Copies of this chain bind each other. A is one copy, B any other.
Amino acid sequence: MNFFSEDKLSHMLVARKPEQHGTSVCVGSAEGKKLFIGGGKPVVIAGPCALEAEEEALSLAKGLKELGVSIFRAMLFKPRSSPYSFQGLGEAGLSILDEIKKQTSLLLLSEVCSEREADLTAPHADILQIGTRNMSNFELLKHVGRLNRPIVLKRGMGASIIEWLNAAEYILAEGNPNVILCERGIKTFELYTRFTLDISAIPAVKELSHLPIIADPSHASGRRSLITPLSRAILASGADGLMVEVHQSPQNSLSDAKQALSLNDFIELKKSVQVFL
């Protein structure tokens, strides 16, 4: 009962028309070369759950760049279930973004949780992320729909695929066509993983929509040991990219310590997914 019919979907901006190709979203240029998500080689986005300190962030960004990463997770505003958990560096970290950009030329992806954070972050980041907790924050979606930045829209942990596509429609309807969907796991009764990665959402979105779709096996599983096999599954199913958490020293991470990869783990991951890139 609580879903839009596929019929209704077909009249939307996000809908894939018959024979339509998938959209390539230009997410910025690095060293004179434009980078796209969708319609070509899958991308790998990597970085810590949240930035914690400048020196470590720079060192990690350089390490990831050497390993072929072109988009860095550079999170400053970190929505956490408890108000007493580490909430990210916030506004104070904006200069770190500039420094990473200057020293590495990496494209930067950063999460925003309010209109104010979006306005603050947009000049310093290439891609804005709307996280799972804000997928249904429609006022924020409309706001980023009026910004000139590509948006990674994570799926709400309790949202159906159709509700998620409707959330994307809020952004497109305001004039911003550059939306990349990101599957990150849904709430189910299974407890071995933190969430249940809905792998079917990848080909489902591909048949319903022309928008690119990536997936985040780190938040979905919450377990370091599952990230490589899930990354392979994600790419094999047709996703346009991966987003993974990598930390200088995962055991010291201020958030999501159990799911972050070390640089060495990331090297193994890259080898294991090379065939799909």
Contacts and interface: CB of A to CB of B under 8 A. Distances in A.
A194 B2 contact: yes
Copies of this polypeptide in the complex: 4
Contacts of A1: 191, 193-194, 222, 258
Contact of A203 (B136, B159, B226): B226
B82 A199 contact: no
A39 to B, nearest CB: 16
Nearest to A157: B158
Interface stretch (A162-170, A241-249, A263-271): A162-170
Contacts of A188: 186, 188-189, 196, 198
Interface stretch (A21-29, A66-74, A101-109, A111-119): A111-119
Contacts of A161: 190, 192
A137 B138 contact: no
A233 interface: yes
Contacts of A222: 1-2
A17 interface: no
Contacts of A199: 197, 199, 230, 233
A208 to B, nearest CB: 8
Contacts of A160: 189-192
A161 to B, nearest CB: 5
Contact of A138 (B2, B83, B198, B206): B83
A169 B83 contact: yes
Given A157-B158, A188-B189, A232 B226 contact: no
A238 interface: yes
Contact of A136 (B134, B187, B202, B225): B134
11 contacts: A1-B194, A79-B138, A84-B173, A133-B138, A158-B189, A161-B192, A203-B225, A207-B225, A207-B226, A229-B237, A232-B237
